[in-house]
Structure 1
């Protein structure tokens, strides 16, 4: 691809993004000058601005690099077993988060000061809520009150989101599938009376 008569160097762009991710996570967006990004990426400072006109464009590009959180329900649903289904969903979400722990940490850190980051994280949270809801409904064959499913979905999504926001600092077992939380939610749903038609 040509831009302003110059050939793009995808490896330089990638090095710039990797450097920005590392430095923003370490020092914060506002405290990281583009000169440090260029030095870490081993590119001239002008090349940073060639690919990203404003420093904010770097943050936007990093938001776009977050891994997709959509998980096909058929991959995780165990019919008749809400707890097993939720454990599998959490394990899939955790695997995707582990692929971008530093990036996830950086974005949680910047959410309070950059509206675009906050919006992206909110959309990801809502996506997790929706996925939990679909998994609960599929695993339970829809025999639960919608209000209970909504509450359970938001509670588990909050727990997953919190854990992901702290993943870089936590010394947690990679195989921890939030058993206590999942078991509590599944048991609470199981003891609720079925909705009346």
Structure 2
């Protein structure tokens, strides 16, 4: 029988020990969900692979779905400093830099990204968490466009930001990052032309 001491991380052992147990649970869950699927993975299997008592999983995560939501937090940070990618007057180059940086960060977690987008179809909480990440991409894209192309039409910039963010999300959700060349180059050039910046950027 699992005792309370086994299921609840003891304060005497320190927060670091409790944090490591939670990380092991998430690591094991991510691997098992990716290999066998969410529905086919019982929490007992997660506990076994994480080498923790099953009760400890329920201590950290009240519902199994909460594990999926917590896995979203393990995706790479998406907040890119605009000053690191924006080149004033070069919209194509600026958007290439933004997409390249986002893709670079994602390369270390492609299986996890693909898993979460797959499960988002049937789990509202996961879908909501991923939607928040999408909105961050939209906002960052808008800031990059405004920085590279000052004085543009706000409505056109908003539309372009959503379109490119959707293209980025599609590549990330299907775990597809091109091995060579500039990611989403065709989409970036199309957006630049629509905003009246394509010809100038291509001539530079």
Which blocks of at least 5 consecutive residues in structure 1 are unaligned? 193-197
Task: Give the structure 1 partner of residue 86 of structure 2.
Answer: 77
Task: Give the structure 1 partner of residue 104 of structure 2.
Answer: 95
User: Is 1:182 matched up with 2:182?
Assistant: no
Contact 2:28 2:49 in 1 (8 A): yes
Contact 1:80 1:139 in 2 (8 A): yes
Please show how residues 44-193 of structure 1 align to structure 2 within 5 Å. 44-142=53-151, 144-167=152-175, 170=176, 172-173=178-179, 176-190=182-196
Contact 2:26 2:67 in 1 (8 A): yes
Contact 1:73 1:131 in 2 (8 A): yes
TM-score between the two structures when normalised by the length of structure 2: 0.82
Cα distance in 2 for residues equivalent to 1:90 and 1:191: 18
Give the superposition deviation at 1:172: 2.7
Cα-Cα RMSD: 2.2
Count of residues paired in the alignment:
188
Give the superposition deviation at 1:178: 1.6
Give the superposition deviation at 1:108: 0.4
Distance 1:11 1:174, change over 3 A: farther
Task: Give the structure 1 partner of residue 29 of structure 2.
Answer: 20
SS at match of 1:134: helix
Distance 1:164 1:171, change over 3 A: closer
Deviations for 1:112-157, whole angstroms, at most 9, x for unmatched residues?
2221111111111111111111111110122x21121111111111
TM-score between the two structures when normalised by the length of structure 1: 0.85
Greater helix proportion: 2
